[in-house]
């Protein structure tokens, strides 16, 4: 027969040491996970992808929140041509750690392979925004955004965000802080200049007008803004007039003379503005 007194004593002792065992188990499992991940990396370095995968999977079994190990598994799947499974692992990595930058890079490359410009732009943008300006992968993300045609937009958003932060600082400190105003004006000038180079003349005009509104105590920035503003405004109006004229010709070809007349009038008004501003 079981001695009830002995059983009670055993339960008391077990329950008293169980919290201690549990508290020590977590760190030990994480250490084991790191060790498994290290073995996986060795196997991968030797070209043993199957062996590496086994070690990485053991690592996440030990520590289900091990972001780096999920990313490693994704790399193995990608090397094996299993893009969907790789993508799943990279997304799981970001679920564990939203700031694990290599996963954004890996997802961006997969999206490019699939021809998905929207997702590629999104992941490159996140890599760009979370990265450190000037580092290697920050520059790579910038180059890819430029190739995808979304860099000017990303740069504009980044600079506008900085400008907004500076504006908040101005409110807190002083609206008359000349140094801050000059810095903000230069940000708007940079956005306008980039837009001008990309032939986005409408955005360029707006950004140079923002410089005029700030009226910074910097003659160089003001002079450059005036110079580029005039060019951008003329090119923007010219483009508007050309588009209006082309639309009018299209309407004429379709015998829609009423619409053609309206488009021509609008185009002539724009041409008149160009003449007046010369």
Instruction: Provide the percentage of residues in the chain whose pLDDT is more than 70.
Output: 79
Q: Average per-residue pLDDT in the chain?
A: 82
256 in any annotated domain: yes
Confidence of residue 48 (pLDDT cuts 50, 70, 90): very high
Average of per-residue pLDDT across 19-46: 78
Instruction: Provide the percentage of residues in the chain whose pLDDT is more than 90.
Output: 32
The string of pLDDT tens digits covering residues 95-141 is 999 999 999 999 999 999 998 988 999 999 899 889 888 889 888 98
Residue 151 CB partners (closer than 8 Å, separation 6+): 142, 145
Give CA–CA dist 202/218, Å, rounded. Answer: 24
Burial of 17 per CB tally in 10 Å (0-12, 13-18, 19+): exposed
Most confident residue range from 109-113, 150-154, 184-188, 265-269 = 109-113
Domain region containing 232: 150-278
124 in any annotated domain: no
89 in any annotated domain: no
Q: What is the pLDDT of residue 34?
A: 92
Give CA–CA dist 207/228, Å, rounded. Answer: 11
CB atoms within 10 A of CB 128: 24
246 in any annotated domain: yes
Q: What is the pLDDT of residue 245?
A: 84
1 in any annotated domain: no
State phi, psi for 46 to the nearest 5 degrees: -90, 0
Q: What is the pLDDT of residue 22?
A: 42
**pTM score of the predicted model:** 0.49
Average of per-residue pLDDT across 82-104: 96
Q: What is the pLDDT of residue 210?
A: 87
Q: How does 171-206 read in b/e, with b if 16+ C-beta sit within 10 Å?
A: eeeeeeeeebbbbbbbbbbbbbbbbbebebbebbbb
Is residue 241 within 8 A of residue 274, CB to CB? The reply is: yes
Q: Which of 115-119, 173-177, 182-186, 190-194 has the lowest average pLDDT? A: 173-177
Confidence of residue 225 (pLDDT cuts 50, 70, 90): confident
244 in any annotated domain: yes
Q: 3-state DSSP call for residue 180?
A: helix
Q: What is the pLDDT of residue 240?
A: 82
261 in any annotated domain: yes
Cβ contacts of 78-85, under 8 Å, gap ≥ 24: 78/106, 78/110, 79/49, 80/49, 83/110, 83/113, 83/114
Could you give the number of structural domains in the chain? Answer: 1
5 in any annotated domain: no
Q: What is the largest CA-CA distance in the chain?
A: 111
pLDDT above 90 (res 63) = yes
Residue 155 CB partners (closer than 8 Å, separation 6+): 191, 194
Residue 58 CB partners (closer than 8 Å, separation 6+): 33, 36, 40
């Amino acid at each position: 027969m079981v001695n009830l007194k002995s059983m009670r004593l055993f339960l008391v002792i077990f329950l008293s040491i169980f919290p201690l065992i549990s508290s020590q188990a977590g760190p030990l499992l994480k250490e084991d996970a790191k060790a498994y991940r290290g073995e996986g990396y060795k196997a991968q370095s030797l070209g043993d992808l199957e062996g590496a995968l086994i070690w990485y999977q053991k690592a996440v079994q030990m520590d289900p929140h091990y972001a780096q190990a999920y990313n490693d598994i994704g790399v193995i799947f990608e090397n094996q041509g299993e893009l969907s499974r790789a993508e799943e692992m990279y997304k799981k990595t970001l679920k564990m750690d939203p700031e694990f930058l290599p996963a954004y890079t890996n997802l961006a490359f997969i999206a490019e392979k699939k021809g998905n410009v929207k997702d590629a732009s999104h992941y490159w943008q996140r890599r760009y925004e979370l990265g450190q300006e000037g580092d290697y992968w920050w520059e790579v993300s910038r180059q890819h955004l430029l190739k995808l045609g979304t860099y000017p937009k990303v740069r504009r958003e980044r600079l506008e965000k900085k400008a907004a932060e500076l504006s908040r600082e101005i409110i807190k400190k002083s609206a008359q802080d000349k140094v801050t105003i000059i810095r903000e004006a230069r940000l708007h000038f940079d956005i306008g200049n980039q837009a001008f180079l990309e032939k986005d003349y409408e955005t360029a005009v707006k950004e140079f007008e923002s410089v005029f509104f700030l009226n910074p105590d910097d003659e160089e920035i003001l002079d450059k803004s005036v110079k580029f503003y005039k060019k951008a405004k003329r090119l923007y109006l010219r483009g508007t007039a050309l588009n209006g004229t082309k639309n009018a010709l299209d309407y004429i070809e379709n015998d829609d003379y009423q619409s053609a007349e309206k488009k021509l009038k609008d185009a002539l008004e724009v041409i008149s503005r160009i003449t007046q501003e010369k």
